[in-house]
Every structure is written in structure tokens, then in C-alpha cells.
Amino acid sequence: MRPTILLEPAALSSLFVTFLSSILLLGISTELPIVDVSTLQRLDDGCTVTVRGIIVDIRAFDSGADMVVLLDLQGPETARVHISAGSRPRVSTYASVGDQLVAIGRLALEGQIPAVYSISDRVTLTAYSVDTLTISMVCESWQLFIYDEFTVKGYIGWDANSDAFRISDDPFGRPPGLRVRYTDALPILEGEMVTASGRLVMDLQDMSLELAVRSISIAL
């Protein structure tokens, strides 16, 4: 008898997004090459682009339109994507801070931050934050993530200098990293790669960045 492999709902959801995004991106790739946010300033104003980036802000308007701010995958450049209502669901109903998005639209070089004007039919979520966002990204562009909630993977370690647990991309706890607001589970998870969902806050006493954890578990 073959063994039965069971996947948790979160893992199934991630696999489904990856599969769906691959199908949708096949259609996108036949139109235009995908460019990063950092490339937009070097393109012609008014041209049609396919841009990808990490969501750092989402705003929904009563008109049915959405506006998202995308961060370059390598940072720190950002771009606004204005999304009119189409036949597909609004981005604000299924995307979150930290997710990776691809959008096709008209480029407008408005001031220092470029803008892309798109429609919901031409916007695709290509990865959830847990699969694309890193602790390094958050630390390097913390002003864009402060007071936002997101899900991220990282290693839990004890930092003797700050007398606190920290989460970082490095299994040995090397910086950059975020202090993790204490929960009873942290001593058990020390040295493990975890999936943590929480809100980025600033400890005003020592001006340290903290991840106020809402949920945390060993990463799959």
C-alpha cells in the first residue's frame, strides 16, 4: 500500500496559488517581459509594462478601485499601482502586505514615485508573503512595514546582547533580525525555522523593531 501524504490547509493553499499563478503568468509572459520596480524609472512615460513587486500598502476606495504600493524585490524603490474595477475580484479582497504581485498597465512617471494604471483583470498574486517576504526585506525597508501585519519565515534564536528572542533569515541568528515579543512557545522553538504572523512595532524605550507575534509554528 502506498503511504498517504496529508498536507495542512496552509500548504495546500500555497500550492494552489503557485499553480494558478503559473497558469496566469503564461498569459502575461506572452505579452510583455516582467520588469522589477527599480526598472520603471528607466522606461518611457506612457508605455505599457508588466511590473512585479512586494505589497507594502493596500488601499480600497468606495469607487471599487484599489491602490497598492509595491516594493522592489531587492529594495528600496517603490511604485504605486492604481487598479480599476474589472470582472475579476478586487485585489484588496485577496492580497495582503508581503504578498508578491504582478500587474500589467500604463506607466506614468509622476514625480519621484512611478505609477502604473491597471485593472483587476490584469493583476495576479504570484506568491504569498510566507514564500517571498524575508526578514532582511522587512529590516531594510522597515518604514514601509511598520504597524503592518504580515506572515514571514525565519529562525528563532536567543540574543544575549538584547536579552531577547529574535527572528532572522540566518540559522545562526546573524543580523539583520527582529526582536520577537515573548510568548511561551519561543524557548521550545529556539533554533527552528518557524512561520510567524504578527505586527511590526517599534519599542520606543530603546527604538528596537519588534514582531508582535499573533501566531507562530514550525515551518513546513
* CB neighbour list of residue 23: distance below 8 Å, 6 or more residues apart: none
Does some domain include residue 21? no
State whether 116 and 179 are in the same domain: no
Q: What are phi and psi of 26, to 5 degrees?
A: -60, -40
For residues 140 and 157, give the distance between their C-alpha atoms in angstroms, rounded to a whole number. 20
State whether 152 and 190 are in the same domain: yes
State whether 187 and 204 are in the same domain: yes
- CATH code, domain with 205: 2.40.50.200
Question: Which pTM does this prediction carry?
Answer: 0.83
The count of domains in the chain is 2
State whether 122 and 146 are in the same domain: no
The pLDDT, as a whole number, for residue 56 is 98
State whether 149 and 192 are in the same domain: yes
State whether 56 and 92 are in the same domain: yes
CA 131 to each of CA 28, 100, 151, 154: distance values in angstroms, whole numbers, following the listed order: 21, 9, 9, 11
Does some domain include residue 10? no
* Cell numbers at 71, concatenated: 516594493
The pLDDT, as a whole number, for residue 161 is 85
Query: Which of 113, 128, 143 is a domain's end point?
Result: 128
- CATH code, domain with 113: 2.40.50.140
Q: Which long-range contacts (CB under 8 A, 24 or more apart) does 56-62 make?
A: 56/97, 56/141, 56/144, 56/145, 56/148, 57/97, 57/144, 57/148, 58/91, 58/92, 58/95, 58/96, 58/97, 59/92, 60/90, 60/92
The pLDDT, as a whole number, for residue 25 is 47
For residue 24, give the H/E element and its range: helix 9-29
Q: How many residues can be counted in the chain?
A: 220
* Cell numbers at 152, concatenated: 514571514
Query: Which of 99, 128, 157 is a domain's end point?
Result: 128
* Cell numbers at 35, concatenated: 520588469
Strands 100-108 and 123-127: antiparallel
Full pLDDT tens readout for the chain, 220 residues? 434 444 455 544 554 454 444 444 444 444 678 999 999 999 999 999 999 999 999 999 999 999 999 999 998 999 999 999 999 999 999 999 999 999 999 999 978 899 999 999 999 999 999 999 999 999 999 999 999 999 999 999 998 888 899 999 999 888 999 999 767 888 889 999 999 999 999 988 888 999 999 999 999 8
Query: Which of 91, 106, 128 is a domain's end point?
Result: 128
State whether 124 and 160 are in the same domain: no
Domain that holds residue 192: 134-218
